[in-house]
Every structure is written in C-alpha cells, then in structure tokens.
Amino acid sequence: MRRSLLFLPGNQPSLLQNGAVLPADALIFDLEDAVAADEKDSARYLVASALRHLDFGRREKIVRINDDHTLREKDIRAVVRAGADTIMPPKIAGSALLQEIGALLDEIEQEAGIEAGRTKLMPLLETAAGIELAYESALASSRVVALALGGEDLAADLGCSRSREGKELLYSRQRLIIAARAAGIEAIDTPFTDAQDNTGLLEDALLAKSLGFSGKLAISPQHLKGIHQAFTPTGAEIAYALEVIKAMEAGLSSGLAAVSLRGKMIDKPVVEQAEKTLAIARASGLLAAAEEIADAE
C-alpha cells in the first residue's frame, strides 16, 4: 500500500529515528535535495546504517539517490546492501538510465546474495522531458513499480509558477497517470509544499485521487493524515466494492455470462477497481468492520 510516501532528510539522525514511528505507508530516505553537497558521503553512511540497524517495520524503504554520476553508484551499492527495498532515481527522462541502474542492481543483488529482482525502481519525473518520455520510463525495467511526480522542479522546467490549486500541473499529472496505467504500474503524485496548510493539502490530495493517482509524496508528517483521508476508500466505497464482488461471485456460480448490479453492468474494470478498493481497505484495517456491516444487512 502506497497512499503516503514520506521524505526523510538523509543527514539528520533525529529525523531518521522519527521515521520509525511516523504513520507513512512508505519512507523515502533522501540522499539528494535534502542533503548539502559536501555532506553526501555523511548521508550515505547514515542512511545505510539506519537501514541496517533501526526497525522501520514492514513498510517500503525507498532511497532517493543522487543524480550526479559520481555519487549514484556509491549510493546504490551502499543502500541496497543495507536493505533498501526501492531506489528512487531523480530527474529521470526515458529508459536508458533506468536500464543502467537495473543492470547495476542485478550485479549487486547477485554479489550480496539478495533475491534477484527484489530491489524495485520508482523513478521521479521532474522535467518536461521526463513527462514526455514517461511511458518509456514505465516500461524500462520490470523493476519499475511506479512513476512519481516531482512538481517543484517540473514547474521550473516548464517556466510556470506553482499555485495552490495546481492547475499548471494538470496535464503533466494526467500524462504521468496515463503512462503508468498503460504500463500497468502505479502513479504517485507530487508533494504539497506548504507544511502549515492542511486544508490545501487535503484538497490537493483529493484532486490527485480523483485524477487516478494511488498515492502522494509528502514532505511533512503533518500531511499524512490528510493524504490517508483522501486515498482511503470511504465506508460507502468499500460497501459498494463488497457488493460488486458478491454480485460477481453470485453471477459466476449461476453460470451467468453478464452480471449487473443496480442496473449497471459489472465488467472487468469495475471488478478490478473493486478488488483494489478492498485491498486498500484490508491494508488500512477497515475491511473487517465493513464486512460485518455488509453481513448484517
């Protein structure tokens, strides 16, 4: 489940320690923008050590590596050996670099006795070229599990200014979603940057959900609540999903070719959406309660 993905600055021990308890679905240990140029080595050692020795639970541990080629390989070697689940290469455009990283991961996994293919990729698209070549990135490697949007740098590249409503990013967001879905992977939205504006965050997260994103990057722990609220199915949505599955199963056992629910055809996409909804509900701990209610009716 990747509703929320929280950035943790890689060179600050107290904030890395906090990561262990903050309720994000996934943690992104940042070696790139959150770390000063002369502290890249410090952050690399610190993040690797934290990954090895601290207990972050069963959540996905993502590391945003540096784009600089003199740092990239060292970053990847250090954190994969330390137990990172996913690498987030920034400023990705197209497939070449992702394939190169994929090959490096093959090598490291083999050397370190890690199950082949275990380490995933979540490229961060933050340039016009990145958006333009999004589909290529999504297909670059079987390790790519999601495309993530980096709105701040993207806006700069597009020559527009960021607004609270985010209209300037609308096309980029939709383009990324199309590319991700066409490739059968997830789409993750850009972080909301005002740490104090929880109302704005909720609106932004609801917009992201309505467009088709399945989760959102976060730069502040204060945003996690709002993100979860936006991306967690409501009671009504869960109840409907349960009905869909029930109707589907009833239809199958009666040998019906087509099933309808409340006058609407239940076809494959509807069933898949219902399954996704129930998966998130289960992971959020909401399924049991919803099932009880459904059974009672």
Partner 1 sequence: MLSKEYSDIKSAIKASPLEDGMTVSFHHHLRNGDYVLNMVMAAIADLGFKDLTVNASAFFACHKPLLDHISQGVVTGLECNYMDAGLGEEISRGLLKKPVIFRSHGGRPADLYRGAAHIDVAFIAASNADPAGNCNGWSGKSAFGSIGYAMADADMADYVIVISDQKSIYPLQQSSIDESLVDAVVFVDSIGDPEKIVSGTTRVTRDPIGLLMADLAVDAIAASGLLRDGFSFQTGAGGASLAVAQLLSDRMLAEGIQGSFASGGITGMLVDMLRAGLFRNLLDVQCFDRAAVESIAQDERHIEISASRYASPEAKSNVAQQLDVVILGATEIDLDFNVNVHTDSNGVIMGGSGGHSDTAAGSFMSMIIAPLYRARLPLIVDRVGCISTPGRDVDVLLTQYGLAVNPRRDDLRQPLQAAGLPVFEIAELKARAEAICGLPQPIKRKDRTVGIVRSRDGEILDRIYQLAD
Partner 2 sequence: MNPIRMAVAGTLESSDVMVRVRPAEVLSLEIKSPVLEQYGDAIRQTVAEVLADRGVTAAEIELIDRGALDCTIRARLETALERALS
Residues found near partner 1 in the complex (CB under 8 A): 17-18, 20-23, 54-55, 220-222, 285
Residue whose C-alpha is closest to residue 128's, from 160, 153, 154: 154
Residue whose C-alpha is closest to residue 150's, from 91, 96, 110: 91
* Stretch near partner 2 under the rule CB under 8 A, chosen from 50-58, 125-133, 155-163, 286-294: 50-58
Q: Where are the alpha helices (DSSP H) in 140-234?
A: 151-158, 170-182, 198-211, 224-231
Between CA 63 and CA 53 the distance in angstroms is 16
Nearer to partner 1 by C-beta: 46 or 145?
46
**DSSP characters for 214-264?**
SEEEES-GGGHHHHHHHHSPPHHHHHHHHHHHHHHHHHHHTT-SSEEETTE
Nearer to partner 1 by C-beta: 17 or 99?
17
Number of C-beta neighbours around residue 185 at 10 A: 18
**Min. distance of Cβ 17 from partner 2 in angstroms?**
6
Per-residue binding letters, 11-40, with partner 2 (x by CB under 8 A): -xxx--x-----------------------
Nearer to partner 2 by C-beta: 53 or 268?
53
Q: Binder to partner 2 among 54, 112, 170, 182 (CB under 8 A)?
A: 54
174 binds, among partner 1, partner 2, none (CB under 5 to 8 A by kind): none
Between CA 246 and CA 241 the distance in angstroms is 9
Q: Binder to partner 2 among 23, 52, 110, 111 (CB under 8 A)?
A: 52
Structure tokens at 92: 């990705």
295 binds, among partner 2, partner 1, none (CB under 5 to 8 A by kind): none
Residues that bind partner 2 (CB under 8 A): 12-14, 17, 41-42, 45-46, 48-50, 52-54
